[in-house]
Amino acid sequence: MNLKFACYLVLSLCFAPAFGQQKEFLNEDGTKTTEDRAAYYRVVWKDRHGQLFGFIKEYYLNGRIRKQENYKAGNLEGRVTAYYPTGEVKSEANYEGGNKLGPWQEWYPNGQVKEEGTCDSRPYSDA
71-80: Cβ within 8 A, 24+ apart: 71/45, 74/98, 76/124, 80/127
* Residue 1 in this model has a pLDDT that exceeds 80: no
Kindly report, residue by residue over 110-122, the tens digit of the pLDDT.
Answer: 999 999 999 986 5
Q: How far apart are CA 101 and CA 106, in angstroms?
A: 15
Give domain limits for the chain. 3-123
* Residue 19 DSSP SS3: coil
Specify the CATH number of the domain 3-123.
2.20.110
Kindly report, residue by residue over 65-97, the tens digit of the pLDDT.
Answer: 999 999 998 999 999 999 999 999 999 999 999
* Residue 50 in this model has a pLDDT that exceeds 90: no
* Residue 27 in this model has a pLDDT that exceeds 60: yes
Strand 65-72 to 75-76 pairing: antiparallel
Per the DSSP assignment, residues forming a β-bridge with 104 are: 117
Per the DSSP assignment, residues forming a β-bridge with 54 are: 71
